[in-house]
Amino acid sequence: MPLVIPSDLPAKSILEKEQIFTMTTQRAETQDIRPLKLAILNLMPKKEETETQLLRMLSNTALQVHVDLIRTDSHESKNTDYTHLHRFYKTFDEIKQNKYDAMIITGAPIETMEYENVDYWQEFTKILEYAKEHVFSTMFICWASQAALYHYYGIKKYQKPKKIFGVYEFDLKKRGTLTKGFDDSFFIPQSRYTYNELQDVLSHPDLDVWAGREDIGANLVSSKDGRFLFVAGHFEYDEDTLYQEYLRDKAKGLGTAIPENYFIENDETKGIKVKWRSHANLFFSNWLNYCVYQETPYDISQISKKKVAKFGGSSLSDAGQFSKVKDIIYSSEDREIIVVSAPGKRNEKDTKITDILNQYYILKKDNKDLMQLEEKIRKFRKENEEKKENSLDIIVNRFTDIAKELELSQETVSVIQHVISKIKDSDNRDFILSRGEYLNAILMAKYLNYEFLDAEDIIFFDNNGVLNKRKTYQSIRQKMANHLKFVVPGFYGKTENGEIKTFDRGGSDITGSIIAGALNSELYENWTDVDGVMTADPNKDKNAKTIDHLSYEQLLRMAEKGANVYHLDAIEPVMKQEIPIHIRNTNNPSGKGTIVQKK
């Protein structure tokens, strides 16, 4: 398949002489396929040269790629003809409503400047934020890679006393689809004065390092989810690009040494030895095929962040409530991550599953203590045992009723019995209390046909019961990096010793908040049995009204004063990321609810 570019773009005639097939936009529109939409933000001085190099790399694929050339509006190029720029390039304002499968942002010869001193820095950061929401996979090259690592992750750059200039060899540190077909070592041309410390990038939990060296820093880096790709070198360079740059530096009297490992036997009179072209073609085709084409949604307008929705115990108290929740989840395709509580009360006289489990634990613990006095209190122990077994019968019946009314498989009912056996064998209070959320998540996953993801595999505590935020966030991002949809039980996680550890009561709010924070979600929905945060307790005051909007600080003050409106510890993870909380009523899904956000 061809590149889709304007028929009179100068690069077109160059590429066709190299037997690279191109196609006009008009002809592409007659093809019965959905082409990849790709934008190139070209920051290089010699834009025609750079655009030709990149288009050549993008042509080595069977995919049809529709290319838009983008330029900055806040900086006027002095090295590219004005007519060429205004004929073939669009400004950011002209494309900012578009969605793209992929974007390439080139380097610029400004790496020795502080980022904030670059005249188009404000416009550049707007484009970086745009890429998060509107582009599925973005490749940053040279200066752009350093600037993006700084903007997104706070990773600093450092300057070398002399230019990093030549063709450098790298050992492959990570294997995957991005480097499919690569040898153990490969070459990439380099031309820059600054670098990112390899250790700074390796220590960041959200980044993977594919290649790098201690002397010239990280060179090939990606975000954990593959949406961002940072390339410090120049796979796209032509055979003589470094040589022409060397001649320009020499003419300016900059004292630049000959490019390292570039000329045959390091002698410029013997010619250039190209060492990077095969890996360059492979790298760009791997990126387009595996990171873009096979991952991006067919409907490009669907590119967005994941949404997390948590449903409380009252929302999941019986099969009827499950059905309501399913309707709510299926009413919006972007509700991909679901967090559930254990079944709550079905009516005022009913008992929450977690309360029954807690009673079971207390009775079991009491029974174990009483066994030491068995002869004196045999009668009391028998009564206690009967109550304990009755507690389990109630739990089995509640979950079995839900499973049968939802027409779930017999295998699901067997899972319930298996979990009850585990409860019988355990003396761990937290494990026992957590099984309500665990079983509810199993049932909901089966009912929705979502993947079940156990909270113990993504929520981690140290042995003192303190949340290990870094390990937790890293695990959530790794487990949820693909496009599967998950149901996660709330309320608990796992310690370093492998034991189940629960949050305080109401801890499913915390689980949902942590997942939303780790994923930097667009929104955190918290579904319960009231229309939002109320001016008073609606059970005591019939005139209580829903508060439409609150700030995080207002919600914190209400929670700190003891108002039973939201779990205090569930506010911080989303507040830090400025993720709005939407508190809504499962029994009134059309209600506006309460929005909690920064302002």
Catalytic annotation, pick one of 111, 236, 437, 456:
236
- Cα–Cα distances (Å) from 472 to 208, 488, 504, in that order, read 17, 14, 18
Residue (of 173, 118, 163, 175) closest to 144 by Cα position: 118
Q: Which two tokens stand for residue 37?
A: 């939409």
The letter for the amino acid at 197 is E
Residue (of 169, 196, 197, 332) closest to 261 by Cα position: 169
Q: Could you give the CA distance from residue 344 to residue 232 in angstroms, rounded to a whole number?
A: 54
Q: Which two tokens stand for residue 362?
A: 């207390």
- Cα–Cα distances (Å) from 218 to 146, 149, 259, 592, in that order, read 10, 11, 20, 48
Whether 291 sits among the annotated catalytic residues: the reply is: no
Whether 214 sits among the annotated catalytic residues: the reply is: no
Query: For 253, what's the count of Cα atoms within 13 Å in the CB-facing half-sphere?
Result: 0
Catalytic annotation, pick one of 142, 336, 525, 567:
142
Positive or negative torsion for Cα 403, 404, 405, 407:
positive
Between CA 91 and CA 96, with CA 92 as vertex, the angle to 5 degrees is 135
- In whole angstroms, what separates CA 491 from the centre of its chain? 22
Catalytic annotation, pick one of 234, 279, 567, 582:
234
> Bridge partners of 340?
311, 489
Query: Could you give the angle at which helices 353-370 and 378-405 cross, rounded to 10 degrees?
Result: 150
Whether 151 sits among the annotated catalytic residues: the reply is: no
> Bridge partners of 292?
none
217-223/207-213 β-pairing: antiparallel
Judge contact between 260 and 165, C-beta under 8 A: yes
* DSSP code for 480: T
Judge contact between 494 and 438, C-beta under 8 A: no
- Cα–Cα distances (Å) from 595 to 133, 304, 548, in that order, read 21, 20, 6
**Region at 532 (left for phi over 0; alpha for psi -120 to 50; beta for the rest):** left
Judge contact between 186 and 224, C-beta under 8 A: no
Q: Which residues are catalytic?
A: 142, 234, 236
